[in-house]
Chains A and B, each alone.
Chain A
Amino acid sequence: MPIKQVHSIPAHVDRIWNLAPHPKLPLLAAATSDKSAQIYSLNTYFPVAQLDGNHKRSIRSVSWKPSSGRQSEAVLATASFDGSVGVWIRDSEQYSPNFGSTGDSGNVGLEEWEFVAALEGHENEVKCVDWSCEGTYLASCSRDKSVWIWEADEDNEEFECLAVLQDHTQDVKHVAWHPNEDLLASASYDDTIRLWREDDDDWVCSGEIIGHRSTVWCIDFDKTTAEGKARLVSCSADETVRVWSRQSMTGNTSTRDIPSTFRSDPISENWQQEAILPQRHSGPIYAVSWSGQSGRIVSVGADGLLVVYQEVKTGEWTVIAEEEDAHSVFEINTAVWSKKWKSTSPHGQEVDKEKDESNQEQEEIIITGGDDGNINIWEVMVQK
């Protein structure tokens, strides 16, 4: 069996909307329908904190700030249907960096995290938030068709609105930043993906990707690209998963000392479709994630199917694993790749490292969340 469910966390909510693993710490954030964000330890799969009491409606999306000054201080942004974005901080002075080691029975009391900022301004439901690669910017998008870019001060309390971008013509579903450039991508109900960059002191739409025939639900960047290159994967209600790559860029990004009145080239980039991944889904595909570790892509959707793809050579992909009814009869809303923190299985059995040939592939896991209110953990076993 190429893929196996190794664990399931019952979150005791109606629905898990979104999941986000912390980039460095063994923490998993879950956006849930009961107006709270739940934090789990990826060492033990036990709950660490419940962030509630501030949002008035479901939390649709969560995102960890990539780096913060203080070690093991975790900063989480939450996007809610109540129209606001919340920012929460785990006080590193109060809690030890140890998030529970393997073998704990999970009797730790839940931590209290601090709600430090409420970003208001969107007219209605905020669908997604994402921090930029170095945590400089926070992007949010909403049903009000706009994408906002915010900048935080060092303490993550003062947020300034830098841009309100209204180029999309419909509900914006997802925003994602490039892994090392200050390039933002957004996906919308208007079937397009837009790219945004800073030009002088203004954020502008530098490119548009047209090709999907229906709502684009989710996008993720390739994290293994060489400098100057960019690729992203998108999934849509048109039942396709597509990979796009940037062919060229005009308008200078490097020679910033030329005053704008002399430059007549507007900043722009040209993206082309590189591949349509093998069709497997029979319903809207709600989430894609591109692994920074293995380069594999996972997609999940309304049909309850989980599919894993591998790139054979540039532009050519095969399906290496599939799981039907991954959340029984329910729709799957989110899927993310994560480093595998837990080195033993939940039952405490040691994995024999010498005998297990596919040990290397087990260093990452897939985490999915669905309408059944469960968080499922998967491992891909790949035959050589």
Chain B
Amino acid sequence: MSAILSAQDLNDFIGPGLACINPVVVNRSETNGHTEIQIDAGGNPVEVSVNGTSNSATKTATQLTPAQINLSDCLACSGCITSAESVLVSLQSHTELLSVLRQSRGHIGAEDGNDLGSKRPKRVFVASISHQSRASLAAAYNISVDRVDAKLVTLFRDILGFQYLVGTGVGRQISLAYSAQEVLLKSGKFTDINSSSVEPKKPVLASICPGWICYVEKTHPHVLPYLSDIKSPQQITGSLLKRLISQETGASADEIYHVSVMPCFDKKLEASRPDFATGEGVRDVDCVITTKEVVQLLIDENIDFMSITESEDARGGNFQALAPKLWPPGKSWESSEGSSSGGYLWHVLAALSDEIKKVEGKSTSLKVIPGKNSDMVEYNLVVTDGDKEEVVAKAAQVYGFRNIQNLVRKLKTGGKTGARSVVSARAKKTAGAATATLVPTEYDYVEVMACPGGCINGGGQIGAPTTDGGDVFGLKEWRDIVENQYKSIRSSCVERHAVQEWVAKVWGSETDSLMTTSYRAVEGLDTKDAVPAVLVGDKW
């Protein structure tokens, strides 16, 4: 069983930053004597100012409060927290989930009237599972995704005691539909749907990858204006679930405990963003656990995944019995066209193509231009008129830190790293370039993911099995296996207008709270200007 957990460490693909960007602010008082920190009789730290002018030192003591850094602060830092397992474990982990389940029920399993904390309100447990996590489990156990889904139903509902279990497909469909609409509005190409309040903006960058967002907020604030406003499937699912379940059961939002199974650790940080909590601090997603942690939970609870019975309620991909009443049947377990990171690029291009057809009556074809490596690809929507080819829209896929570097740099300088302006260099970059050169300001949309290969290769996914002799599969081979499992999930079309109608029916007209979010630059120490406090040895 433990062979399934890989030896990879728990880190995400964007490397850790060194400095904690939340500096402890020290209030210097007016006393000009020096101060020292002592422990008083009660064992509390106090700062004592020692007045040195008189023989008998007069002391004034101020109680010190412990310096606190909470998860939300660390969100800003993207670095030390994603690698600091101990902090993550304490706040959002499978052990935390088990403990919450136990507290609520007395023991995991059947409904129990006398739970230990009898004054606590009965909690409603709901889980949402990402498609990538299902694919990862299917690959790791070498069974079909359908069988994994059926086992997950038994695991969450019958063994762990959840009342609801959904896939993230509904959240994703909404996210895709509104992201496509956002790009149409911001592309500045279509006057009929252009509302005057939307400024044209190119490119619009996908914002559903929290690793990417953390990196931008912390180190490249000049990229912020380009980010899409639309929330990720995880968060939209959370908002929907909390409202629908609350309406159905009468439980308040804080009595609903929403667990989301995701392919990476940065999703835990996304769930903790202050933007995704209501005024009373109730979050749309209470706990994110990664695919790896699901396996760890099985090990800890001595559950053999392969022996779990495959629930009948999962038959036909329906799962209606496990979803809130207004939940569209089956849709949340269905995947979408396009990349295994959500298919954003695909849907944006499809929407652009449809709109061009509708408005200008022209059909477009797709031209794929590979970039320097497999994680960077450019797509052009081309209208052919006889032998003339006109590029009407451009988009790109940029995965992985090294490609993100190039994207971010070019957005800053407008395409040139250099100070020299040379006309001849510009002439070389023709529209029909053989390999894609990243020119962000020409793209309508860029699907950005921090992990090479995208979400299917997230840091929380289960690694390739190993035997004593070494790796059974190479990294790329394993990635392909998981990707194929993902593709085997039935996918459905995103009908933008149908989605919008459903949202209006279920959520009402004030869709911003369901759909949109915002980002902010993080002020922190500029590590390049800061000199380390301790210089170990002179040479460095």
Residues of A within 8 A of B219 (CB): 123
**Binary CB contact string for chain A from 28 to 48 against chain B (1 if under 8 A, 0 otherwise):** 000000000000000000000
Q: Which of A144, A160, A266 contacts B406 (CB 8 A)?
A: A160
Residues of B within 8 A of A162 (CB): 372-373, 402
**24 A-B residue contacts at CB 8 Å?**
A83-B527, A115-B419, A116-B419, A117-B418, A118-B418, A121-B409, A123-B17, A124-B527, A146-B15, A153-B425, A155-B424, A155-B425, A157-B420, A160-B406, A162-B402, A163-B402, A164-B405, A166-B15, A201-B372, A202-B373, A202-B452, A264-B471, A264-B477, A331-B539
Query: Is A359's CB within 8 Å of the partner chain B?
Result: no
Query: Is A158's CB within 8 Å of the partner chain B?
Result: yes
Taking a contact as CB atoms under 8 Å apart, the answer to whether B477 and A158 are in contact is no
Query: Is A82's CB within 8 Å of the partner chain B?
Result: yes
Listed in ascending order, the chain B residues whose CB lies under 8 Å from chain A are 15, 17-18, 219, 372-374, 401-403, 405-406, 409, 416-420, 422, 424-425, 438, 452, 471, 473-474, 476-477, 480, 527-528, 539-540
Q: In the complex the two chains form, what is the Cα distance from A143 to B406 in whole Å? A: 21
Taking a contact as CB atoms under 8 Å apart, the answer to whether B417 and A164 are in contact is no
Give 20 new A-B contacts, CB below 8 A, not counting A202-B373, A331-B539: A82-B528, A83-B527, A114-B420, A117-B418, A117-B419, A118-B418, A121-B409, A124-B18, A155-B424, A157-B425, A160-B406, A161-B405, A166-B15, A171-B540, A200-B476, A201-B373, A201-B374, A261-B476, A266-B474, A284-B539
Taking a contact as CB atoms under 8 Å apart, the answer to whether A158 and B373 are in contact is no
Nearest CB of B to A120, in Å: 7
Query: Is A263's CB within 8 Å of the partner chain B?
Result: yes
Query: Is A286's CB within 8 Å of the partner chain B?
Result: yes
Nearest CB of B to A151, in Å: 8
The chain B residue with its CB closest to the CB of A160 is: B406
Contacts A116-B419, A302-B539 given; does A261 touch B477 at CB 8 Å: yes
Nearest CB of A to B20, in Å: 13
Taking a contact as CB atoms under 8 Å apart, the answer to whether A124 and B477 are in contact is no
Taking a contact as CB atoms under 8 Å apart, the answer to whether A143 and B540 are in contact is yes
**Tally of A-B residue pairs with Cβ under 8 A?**
95
Q: In the complex the two chains form, what is the Cα distance from A163 to B419 in whole Å? A: 23
Q: In the complex the two chains form, what is the Cα distance from A125 to B529 in whole Å? A: 10
Q: Which of B17, B405, B416 contacts A121 (CB 8 A)?
A: B405
Nearest CB of A to B389, in Å: 26
**Binary CB contact string for chain A from 211 to 242 against chain B (1 if under 8 A, 0 otherwise):** 00000000000000000000000000000000
Nearest CB of B to A353, in Å: 42
Taking a contact as CB atoms under 8 Å apart, the answer to whether B405 and A118 are in contact is no
Residues of A within 8 A of B406 (CB): 160-161
Residues of A within 8 A of B527 (CB): 83, 123-124
Q: In the complex the two chains form, what is the Cα distance from A261 to B527 in whole Å? A: 41
Q: In the complex the two chains form, what is the Cα distance from A263 to B471 in whole Å? A: 12
The chain A residue with its CB closest to the CB of B401 is: A164
Taking a contact as CB atoms under 8 Å apart, the answer to whether A260 and B373 are in contact is no
**Binary CB contact string for chain A from 144 to 180 against chain B (1 if under 8 A, 0 otherwise):** 1110000001011111111110100001000000000
Q: In the complex the two chains form, what is the Cα distance from A146 to B405 in whole Å? A: 14
Query: Is A25's CB within 8 Å of the partner chain B?
Result: no
Residues of A within 8 A of B409 (CB): 120-121, 161
Taking a contact as CB atoms under 8 Å apart, the answer to whether B474 and A263 are in contact is yes
Residues of A within 8 A of B417 (CB): 117-119, 157-159
Residues of A within 8 A of B15 (CB): 144-146, 164, 166
Q: In the complex the two chains form, what is the Cα distance from A200 to B477 in whole Å? A: 13
Q: In the complex the two chains form, what is the Cα distance from A157 to B409 in whole Å? A: 13
Residues of B within 8 A of A260 (CB): 474, 476
Nearest CB of B to A174, in Å: 12
Residues of A within 8 A of B539 (CB): 284, 286, 302, 331, 333
Residues of A within 8 A of B540 (CB): 125, 143, 171
Q: In the complex the two chains form, what is the Cα distance from A163 to B375 in whole Å? A: 12
The chain A residue with its CB closest to the CB of B403 is: A161
Contacts A124-B18, A164-B15 given; does A155 touch B422 at CB 8 Å: yes
Residues of B within 8 A of A87 (CB): 418
Q: In the complex the two chains form, what is the Cα distance from A120 to B527 in whole Å? A: 13
Q: In the complex the two chains form, what is the Cα distance from A264 to B473 in whole Å? A: 7
Interface centre among A119, A158, A261, A331 (most CB of B within 10 A): A158
Q: In the complex the two chains form, what is the Cα distance from A146 to B17 in whole Å? A: 11
Q: In the complex the two chains form, what is the Cα distance from A146 to B14 in whole Å? A: 11
Taking a contact as CB atoms under 8 Å apart, the answer to whether B474 and A161 are in contact is no
Residues of A within 8 A of B438 (CB): 160
Interface centre among B422, B471, B474 (most CB of A within 10 A): B474
Q: Which of A241-278 contact B (CB under 8 A)?
A: 260-261, 263-264, 266
Q: Which of A324-344 contact B (CB under 8 A)?
A: 331, 333
Nearest CB of B to A271, in Å: 20
Taking a contact as CB atoms under 8 Å apart, the answer to whether A160 and B372 are in contact is yes
Nearest CB of B to A110, in Å: 20
Q: Which of B17, B374, B422 contacts A157 (CB 8 A)?
A: B422
Taking a contact as CB atoms under 8 Å apart, the answer to whether A264 and B422 are in contact is no
The chain A residue with its CB closest to the CB of B479 is: A261
The chain A residue with its CB closest to the CB of B538 is: A331
**Binary CB contact string for chain A from 308 to 352 against chain B (1 if under 8 A, 0 otherwise):** 000000000000000000000001010000000000000000000
Residues of B within 8 A of A157 (CB): 416-418, 420, 422, 425
Taking a contact as CB atoms under 8 Å apart, the answer to whether A116 and B528 are in contact is no
Nearest CB of A to B442, in Å: 15
Q: In the complex the two chains form, what is the Cα distance from A161 to B372 in whole Å? A: 10
Nearest CB of B to A55, in Å: 11
Residues of A within 8 A of B471 (CB): 264
Residues of B within 8 A of A286 (CB): 539
Residues of B within 8 A of A143 (CB): 540
Residues of B within 8 A of A83 (CB): 527-528
Nearest CB of A to B532, in Å: 9
Q: In the complex the two chains form, what is the Cα distance from A123 to B406 in whole Å? A: 15
The chain B residue with its CB closest to the CB of A120 is: B409
Q: In the complex the two chains form, what is the Cα distance from A124 to B473 in whole Å? A: 37
Q: In the complex the two chains form, what is the Cα distance from A162 to B471 in whole Å? A: 27
Q: In the complex the two chains form, what is the Cα distance from A201 to B425 in whole Å? A: 25
The chain A residue with its CB closest to the CB of B370 is: A201
Residues of B within 8 A of A302 (CB): 539
Q: In the complex the two chains form, what is the Cα distance from A25 to B449 in whole Å? A: 45
Nearest CB of B to A284, in Å: 7
Q: In the complex the two chains form, what is the Cα distance from A57 to B531 in whole Å? A: 11
Q: In the complex the two chains form, what is the Cα distance from A143 to B535 in whole Å? A: 13
- The 8 A-B pairs of least Cβ separation, nearest first, read A157-B418, A201-B373, A161-B405, A83-B528, A117-B418, A116-B418, A116-B420, A166-B15
Q: In the complex the two chains form, what is the Cα distance from A146 to B452 in whole Å? A: 17
Residues of B within 8 A of A118 (CB): 417-419
Nearest CB of A to B220, in Å: 10
Residues of B within 8 A of A160 (CB): 372, 406, 438
The chain A residue with its CB closest to the CB of B536 is: A189
Q: In the complex the two chains form, what is the Cα distance from A123 to B403 in whole Å? A: 17
Residues of B within 8 A of A125 (CB): 528, 540
The chain A residue with its CB closest to the CB of B528 is: A83
The chain A residue with its CB closest to the CB of B422 is: A155
Residues of B within 8 A of A120 (CB): 409
Nearest CB of B to A285, in Å: 11
Q: Which of A57, A82, A164 contacts B402 (CB 8 A)?
A: A164
The chain A residue with its CB closest to the CB of B420 is: A116
Nearest CB of A to B12, in Å: 12
Interface centre among B219, B419, B424, B425 (most CB of A within 10 A): B419
The chain A residue with its CB closest to the CB of B219 is: A123
Nearest CB of A to B527, in Å: 5
The chain B residue with its CB closest to the CB of A156 is: B418
Q: In the complex the two chains form, what is the Cα distance from A284 to B417 in whole Å? A: 38
Q: In the complex the two chains form, what is the Cα distance from A124 to B525 in whole Å? A: 12
Residues of B within 8 A of A159 (CB): 417
Residues of B within 8 A of A171 (CB): 540
The chain B residue with its CB closest to the CB of A261 is: B477
**Binary CB contact string for chain A from 96 to 120 against chain B (1 if under 8 A, 0 otherwise):** 0000000000000000001111111
The chain B residue with its CB closest to the CB of A89 is: B420
Nearest CB of B to A180, in Å: 23
